[in-house]
Structure 1
Amino acid sequence: MNSHDTSGTLEEALERLHAAGPERLGRLTNHAPMVVESLAARGRAGAVHRWLDLYRPRLEDFPTPVAPVTDADWAQALGDPRRAADWIAYFSRALAERPWRTVLATWWPRLLPGMYGGSTHPVIRVGHAVRALEAGENAPRLTELAHGLGYWAARHRPVSGIDPLPAAPTAAGSLDAVVPLRHPRGGFPDRLAAVRRLPRWAAGVSDPDTARARLTELVRAATHRYVTHGHGEPTMLVHAATAPNAVLRALGSLPRALWAPSLHAAWTASAAVTAMYAPAGPVAYAPSARPTPEEVLERALAHGDEHVVKLTDTALDVGDDRALAAALRAAELSEPLA
């Protein structure tokens, strides 16, 4: 179902969106660039502007610059959300001077340890931007990558102090082995800080092809798991699947030496989100019908919620009936976009 838009609609939408900031209310992510890319990639470019008009009240103006980020002092600006505009300007300059894959390969290992900031949305935005650029390179798509990388740098947040626990052989079994937080409180940053133990499922993988296969397995397992566990937190548990899928989408544009570290970071993100928002137990779920992928996408578009659209996009990558059931489940659990 990948049929990336060639009408210019995606470019028009991105140009509209690049006047807006990556967040609103100081902490909530602007999901619109990710959604419009998903719709364009899935052959629904005709719905892009209609959806964007509904989402427009959630957009805020582009943030005010503080001071330029330079090659000499970038480390001091890393992880400072006040510097989002400075980081976006830095990456805009970098992408004007060098090929985008070179910039991505340079910065991926610097940013990867901090993919957990911004509730993993920055790496997800980068994954969408990479998919768009692989389908066709032009100025608005390059600018979108600059915005994604800049947001990631501004919200860069590493995770440390994780004690390894025994893991099952499979991704699904290891997600089942994740120990939920005992007394979860607060939002994503507070819960992330409380995560101390995770199964070591990705440990020891160094071969690039094995890493890619494992990452594909993880995306499938996390998507499938949403069917029975998404009720724990219908919005946040989406990221257990969409964050590793964003990493998976970027692999082909990265040097193979970065594939195994990417698996390790993606597993930590998926497992941590699972721990942070786990429900008391699974629930049985079976859709009343078996719709086609096209029908599932239409349902997500009619629903409109940004996380529903993005999980549907990931479910279509996975492609099996249980993944499509996860997309339907997300629509049932989530509030439609008003």
Structure 2
Amino acid sequence: MDTADTTDTTDTSGVLDEALQRLHVCGPERLGRLTNHAPMVAEALVARGCPDTVHRWLDLYQERLEEFPAGVAPVTDADWAGALGDPRRAADWIAYFRRTLAAHGWRSVLATWWPRLLPGMYGGSTHPVIRVGHAVRALLRDDTSEPRLTELAHGLGYWAARHRPLAGITWLPGAPDAAAGLDAVPPVRPLEGGFPARLARVERLPAWAADVTGPDTARGRLAELVRAATHRYATHGHGEATMLVHAATAPSAVLRTLPALPRPLWVPSLRAAWTASAAVTGMYAAAGAVPYVPPGHLAAGDLIERAVAHGDEHVIKLADTALDVADEQAHAAALRAIELSEPLR
């Protein structure tokens, strides 16, 4: 994936750190189940060279933020397993990771906790791993920033609190490539209910990339998956305009995290990302493909400008992923999301 032309690698404005400091007094969710997308969008906008839009967007989103939740009891190295997957412990988990990151360094903590959290990346509608992916990308640009380290603590803590494994899957015959694999995902029945209810009904998925054993191949396959899921949104996003975005943005977050992870973790990362993308594809399956012809070519800067003007958080994050994929069909997917989604008011 070529991001050289669209990603701001200098990131010297200071806007992201200001935004994160503004946001860290807020909780990771609202109404007990809906995710706070603000830190992810702020990072995406700065990464795409739009720092001047960040605080204006946050002002519009402000009413969707809730105060940081109260803690229950400290999470410790001795008893963390008992707190895993307990959303009431979000504040406890975030505090734990703030302490641990300060003591051990973010790459070491990530390497320790990534394999512990990876089996449960399906909780929170995959938002926790997406938040971690944005935090890691920001740290890879500047790992001396305290607000970015704190953001990683929030992302990992949210993931630990919403940790939910997906077990009991029957693996169907494999597909030759990621696009064919997504085409072969059987729809979840019935197609109703929220994310947790649908996730509980995921029982069969096609095997794909199960034969991968090397980290470099895993990275290539993961990039292929991100591309295929992004492309697919252009023709299948009408199945559920918001939720199907995650079929692309969850594996994209994993791909962005790989450079910060030990190479032996790349293969299991690919497998977890495939399961997440395939599960979301089946949980919100469209009745069939709808051909989509975008209204002309858009340069990268114009695409992110349109996404920002629309304002929806999922639209912005899909546009961010589409700019990583960097081809016409990916751009078409972002434009399709703009058409399908309600704008931020």
TM-score range, shorter chain: over 0.9
The yes-or-no answer on 1:48 pairing with 2:54 is yes
How far apart, CA to CA, are the structure 1 residues paired with 2:201 and 2:188? 7
How far apart, CA to CA, are the structure 2 residues paired with 1:113 and 1:266? 10
How far apart, CA to CA, are the structure 1 residues paired with 2:211 and 2:166? 19
The equivalent residue for 1:109 is 115
> 1:86-113: per-residue Cα shift (whole Å, max 9, x none)?
0000000001111100000000000000
How far apart, CA to CA, are the structure 2 residues paired with 1:206 and 1:90? 33
> 1:104-127: per-residue Cα shift (whole Å, max 9, x none)?
000000000000000000000000
> Please, which of 25, 31, 34 is the counterpart of residue 37 of structure 2?
31
How far apart, CA to CA, are the structure 1 residues paired with 2:140 and 2:211? 30
How far apart, CA to CA, are the structure 1 residues paired with 2:213 and 2:247? 22
Name stretches of at least 5 consecutive residues in structure 1 with no aligned partner.
none
The equivalent residue for 2:206 is 199
The equivalent residue for 1:174 is 181
Deviation at 1:185, TM superposition (A): 2.1
Aligned-partner residue type, residue 211 of structure 2: G
- Output aligned runs, 1:134-213, within 5 Å: 134-137=140-143, 138-213=145-220
The yes-or-no answer on 1:308 pairing with 2:315 is yes
Deviation at 1:167, TM superposition (A): 2.0
The yes-or-no answer on 1:78 pairing with 2:91 is no
Q: Secondary structure at the match of 2:279?
A: helix
CA RMSD of aligned residues (A): 0.6
Divergent runs of 4+, >3 A: none
> 1:262-318: per-residue Cα shift (whole Å, max 9, x none)?
000000000000000011101011012111111111000000000000000000000
How far apart, CA to CA, are the structure 1 residues paired with 2:73 and 2:189? 42
The yes-or-no answer on 1:16 pairing with 2:32 is no
Q: Which moved more, 1:229-238 or 1:3-12?
A: 3-12
How far apart, CA to CA, are the structure 2 residues paired with 1:80 and 1:128? 23
Aligned-partner residue type, residue 24 of structure 1: R
How far apart, CA to CA, are the structure 2 residues paired with 1:58 and 1:183? 30
Name the count of aligned residue pairs: 338
The equivalent residue for 1:118 is 124
> Please, which of 269, 276, 282 is the counterpart of residue 269 of structure 1?
276
Deviation at 1:202, TM superposition (A): 2.3
Q: Secondary structure at the match of 2:260?
A: coil
The equivalent residue for 2:245 is 238
> 1:191-244: per-residue Cα shift (whole Å, max 9, x none)?
000000000102121111111000000000000000000000000000000000
How far apart, CA to CA, are the structure 2 residues paired with 1:126 and 1:173? 28
Q: Secondary structure at the match of 1:252?
A: helix
Contact 2:30 2:66 in 1 (8 A): yes
- Output aligned runs, 1:215-294, within 5 Å: 215-294=222-301
Q: Sequence identity, in percent?
A: 74
Name stretches of at least 5 consecutive residues in structure 2 with no aligned partner.
1-5
How far apart, CA to CA, are the structure 2 residues paired with 1:258 and 1:269? 17
Aligned-partner residue type, residue 172 of structure 1: A
Aligned-partner residue type, residue 67 of structure 2: D
How far apart, CA to CA, are the structure 1 residues paired with 2:14 and 2:130? 22
How far apart, CA to CA, are the structure 2 residues paired with 1:146 and 1:21? 12
Q: Secondary structure at the match of 2:205?
A: strand
Aligned-partner residue type, residue 90 of structure 1: Y
How far apart, CA to CA, are the structure 2 residues paired with 1:231 and 1:185? 15
How far apart, CA to CA, are the structure 2 residues paired with 1:66 and 1:197? 37
The yes-or-no answer on 1:337 pairing with 2:341 is no
Aligned-partner residue type, residue 303 of structure 2: V
Deviation at 1:149, TM superposition (A): 0.2
Aligned-partner residue type, residue 331 of structure 2: L
How far apart, CA to CA, are the structure 1 residues paired with 2:213 and 2:268? 8
Aligned-partner residue type, residue 7 of structure 2: N
